[in-house]
Amino acid sequence: MAMVFFLFILMLGLSWSQAAADTAVRRLVLAAGANNGGVDRDLLRYAVSDAENFVRVLEEMGGLDPADVLLLRDPDLADFEQGLHELSRRVTAANRRGDRLEVLLYYSGHADEEGLLLAGEHLDYSLLRRELGAATADVHIAVLDACASGAITRIKGGQRQQSFLVDESFDMRGYAFLTSSSADEAAQESDAVQASFFTHYLVSGMRGAADVTGDGRVTLNEAYQFAFAETLARTTGTMGGAQHPAYDIKMSGTGDVVMTDVRRHVAGLSFAEALEGRLYVRNGNRHLVAELYKPAGRAVELGLEPGHYTLHLETSRGGLRLAELVLAEGERAGLGTGDFRAIALERTVSRGSEERGITLGLSEDHHIEIETGEGYTLSMGLLTNTQDKAFRGAQFAWLVNQARERAGTQISGIGNLSLKAIKGWQVSGVVNWAMGPIQGSQVGVLNIAPQVRGWQLAGSTNIAGKIRGWQVSSAMNFADEVKGGQFGAINVAGKVKGWQFGMINVSGDIEDGLPVGLINYSRSGLFNLSAWRDEIGLNMLTLTSGSRSFYSSFTTGFKEDAGRRTWAMGVGFGLQKSWPWTFLSLDVNQYRISRDLDGDYSVHIDVNPPTVDLNWRQPSIDNFLTRIKIETGVVLDPHTSAWLTPFWSEGSLSLFGGVSANHLWADGNPRLVELDNGYDREWEDDLFVWPGFFFGLRYGR
C-alpha cells in the first residue's frame, strides 16, 4: 500500500512538473527614463539611457521579447499614464492565453516623498501601486531609481518581508518593489559610469556579476543584494552621501524570480577563480557596461554582446592591469590573471585632478571642434552649425545653430533651435526656440521654450510653458506657470508664484506674490464692480481687479451742482484682507476733478483767400484729489445674481463703507468740490484737506 501511494505521489509530481514546463513564461515590461523632473529639478543626463540598459539586458539574457516592451523616453505625466493603461491592456490580453505572467515596471528619473516627478507633474506612489497591482499577473516587480523612492515601501498595504529563497521552483507569486534610495535620500548619477549608480550596478549584477551561487542564473534577490552593496560602497564618499537602496517584498511560494540566465547570452566572458580585484568592462565605444569586485576562489561569467572590449583590473596592491579582446557571436572567452598586463597609472596634478588633453579637428559637417578630455565641446560653424549628437559645451554659428539631441550653450547671430534638452544658454540676435526643457537662459528678440529654469530676456516676446526664474521683455511675456516673475508691458500667466510687473498683468491664479501694474486681473483674485457715494456728493462707479490681496482700481463719477456737472476720473491701488463674510481694505487713489465752463464763439476772417472760421471755445478747469480710504464690508448673499457668474466667478453682493483722508489741489483754478459742513481746511494756497466718509454696494469677488 505504501508503495502504491509513493508511486501515485511521484506520478502526480511528474505531471505537475510537465505542466509547469509546458506553461510559457511571459514578461511584460514598462520602462521609463525621465531626465526632466520639472523646473524645480536639475536635468538628469542618464535616466533615459538607464532605462534602455535595463531593457537591453533583459532582452539579451532575460527572455524578454522586444514586442513586450513599452519604453518611454522623457515622458510627461500623460505619457506615463498612457503607458500604464497600455500595460494593463496587454496584461489582460496575455491572461487569456493562460501563460505565467511577470510584469516589470522600471523608472529612472526624479521623485520626491510623494511620488514620481514627470516634467514637473506628480504621480503618487499610492496610485502607482494601485495601477500596478490592478494588472493580474503572477509576479509584479517595480524598480524605481529616483530620489526618495524608498517612500513607496512605507505606503500602507506593503511591508518588508524576508528576502526570496534561492530555488528553481516555478510557483513564486507576489510583488517586489526595489528602490535605489531610502525615503529621505538622493539617488545619484555619475559621469564616471555614465549612469545612475544603482542601475549601473543592477545591470552589472544581472549580466552575471551577482551570480553568487554559480548556477548561471541571476535571481532578483541576488541582483538586488549586489546592487545594494555596490551602490552603498560607491556612494559613501560622494558629495550626495551614502545611498541605501530599499525594498518591499511580499512573495508566496518556494522559489525566487530568475531575472537573467547567463547561459542565454549572445557572447560570454568568464573570469578564473584565481583572479581577484575590481573589474571595469568597457565596450568599443568606451562605455562602461559592467563593473564588479571579483573575489578569489569564485568563478564569474558575464553575458555580453559581441564586439571589442577593454578590461581594467584594480588589484588590492594598488596596481592597474589591462586586457583587451574581441568577442564573436556565440563565443565564450575566459580570462585569468596571466591575460592582464600591467600598465602605468595615469599621472595626476598636485590637486588631484587628472591631466586632460584637448583635441582640435573638423566634424563631418566641417565645423571646427575643440574637445576636452572631460567631454566638453566647442563647435564653431561658419554660417550654420548642426549637431546631430548630444554635447556639452558651446555651439557657435554666425547665422543659425541647430541641435537635434541634448545640447549645451548655443550662440548665433540670427537663431537657435534645439529639439531636445538644453543645459546652458541660447543667445541670438532674433529667435531662440527650444523644444525641450532648458536649464539656463534665453536671450534674443523672441524666446520660446516649454520649460525654463533660469531667465528669458527678450527684446519683444517671451513664451514659456513653465519657468522658474524671470521673463523680462519690452513687450509681452506669456507662461503657463511662473515661479519667479514677469516684467513687461503685458504679462500673461496661468499660474504665478511670484510677481508680475507691467502695464497689464493677467493670471489664472497668483500665489505668494503680487501683480503690480495699471490693470491687474487674476481669475482667482479680486474682480468686482462697486457703486458708491462720498461726503462731497460724488456718485462713483469703480472697477477693481487684482490678486487675492493686492488690487488696482479705475473710478469714474459725477456731481450735479446748480445745473452744472462736475466729473471725476481716477485710478488707485490697494491691499485687501478677506474672510468668508467680510473684508477690510486700504487703498490710495488719485482723481482728476473737471468741470466745463460756459463757452463763447470766436470769428477769424482771412482776406486772401477770403475765408471765415467760426470756432466754439469751451474751456475747462481741473482740480486734483488724492484720497486714502479705509474700507470694510459685509457679504449680503454669496449667490446673488447668478446670471453674472460667468463674468465674476463666485460673485457675491456686499454692502461696504468707510472713512477717508482727502487732499485737494486746485492748481490755481477755482475750487470745484467742497464740504457743506465746513470741516475742510486750507493747508496752503490752493491746498485743502478734510476727513470724509463713503458707502455703497459691490458685486463680484
Q: What amino acid is encoded at 168 in this protein?
A: E
Average pLDDT over residues 153-173: 41
Cell numbers representing residue 343 in the block? 600598465
Cell numbers representing residue 690 in the block? 478734510
Average pLDDT over residues 545-550: 86
Among 181-190, 209-218, 538-547, top mean pLDDT goes to 538-547
Predicted pLDDT at 261: 86
Domains of the chain (ranges, CATH numbers): 22-264 (3.40.50.1460), 267-343 (2.60.40.10), 358-519 (no CATH), 527-700 (2.40.160)
pLDDT over 70 (residue 701): yes
pLDDT over 80 (residue 172): no
Confidence of residue 252 (pLDDT cuts 50, 70, 90): low
| DSSP string over 491-543 | EEEEEEEEEEEEEEEEEEEEESS-EEEEEEEETTS-EEEEEEEETT--EEEEE
Closest CA to 514 of 491, 485, 488, 542: 485
Predicted pLDDT at 611: 58
Among 175-179, 225-229, 394-398, top mean pLDDT goes to 394-398
500-507 long-range contacts, Cβ below 8 Å, gap at least 24? 502/477, 507/547
pLDDT over 90 (residue 170): no
Confidence of residue 316 (pLDDT cuts 50, 70, 90): confident
Predicted pLDDT at 209: 87
| DSSP string over 289-352 | EEEEEE-TT--EEEEE-SEEEEEEEE-TTS-EEEEEEEEPTT-EEEE-GGG-EEEPPPPB-TTS
pLDDT over 70 (residue 648): no
pLDDT over 80 (residue 530): yes
442 vs 652, more confident = 442
Question: Helix 47-61 vs helix 197-204: angle between axes, to the nearest 10 degrees?
Answer: 10
Predicted pLDDT at 163: 33
pTM for the model stands at 0.74
Hey, which residues does 246 pair with through a beta bridge?
179
* β-strands 409-412, 422-427 pairing: parallel
pLDDT over 90 (residue 481): yes
Predicted pLDDT at 597: 57
Average pLDDT over residues 104-118: 89
d(CA 528, CA 639): 14
Average the pLDDT over each of 136-145, 153-162, 367-376 and give the range with the smallest value: 153-162
Average pLDDT over residues 142-165: 55
Cell numbers representing residue 163 in the block? 528576502
Average pLDDT over residues 581-587: 94
- Residue 187: phi and psi, rounded to 5, are -90, 135
Reported as a single tens digit per residue, the pLDDT across 386-431 is 988 888 899 999 999 999 988 899 999 999 999 999 999 999 999 9
The three-point CA angle 644-648-650 to 5° equals: 100
Share of the chain above pLDDT 90, in %: 37
pLDDT over 60 (residue 454): yes
Average the pLDDT over each of 282-296, 546-560, 599-613 and give the range with the smallest value: 599-613
The CA–CA distances, whole Å, from 543 to 326, 531, 537 equal 79, 9, 19
Predicted pLDDT at 553: 93
Predicted pLDDT at 602: 52
Reported as a single tens digit per residue, the pLDDT across 203-219 is 988 888 888 888 888 98
pLDDT over 50 (residue 353): no
Average the pLDDT over each of 2-16, 120-134, 487-501, 649-663 and give the range with the smallest value: 2-16
Average pLDDT over residues 247-265: 75
Confidence of residue 25 (pLDDT cuts 50, 70, 90): confident
For 214, other C-beta atoms within 10 Å of its C-beta total: 11
Average pLDDT over residues 251-255: 66
Average the pLDDT over each of 7-21, 286-300, 547-561, 572-586 and give the range with the smallest value: 7-21
Average the pLDDT over each of 8-12, 594-598, 694-698 and give the range with the smallest value: 8-12
Average pLDDT over residues 305-311: 90
Average pLDDT over residues 512-519: 83
Torsion of CA 36, 37, 43, 44, to 10 degrees: -80
For 344, other C-beta atoms within 10 Å of its C-beta total: 7
Predicted pLDDT at 612: 52
Predicted pLDDT at 171: 59
Looking at every residue in the chain, the average pLDDT score rounds to 82
Confidence of residue 366 (pLDDT cuts 50, 70, 90): low
648 vs 488, more confident = 488
Reported as a single tens digit per residue, the pLDDT across 120-144 is 888 998 888 888 878 888 888 889 9
Average pLDDT over residues 606-633: 74
The CA–CA distances, whole Å, from 138 to 99, 143, 687 equal 10, 17, 88
Confidence of residue 308 (pLDDT cuts 50, 70, 90): very high
Average the pLDDT over each of 263-267, 284-288, 359-363 and give the range with the smallest value: 359-363
d(CA 258, CA 167): 9
Torsion of CA 312, 314, 318, 324, to 10 degrees: -30
Average the pLDDT over each of 145-159, 210-224, 360-374, 508-522 and give the range with the smallest value: 145-159
d(CA 35, CA 29): 20
Average pLDDT over residues 533-557: 92
Closest CA to 661 of 625, 623, 627: 627
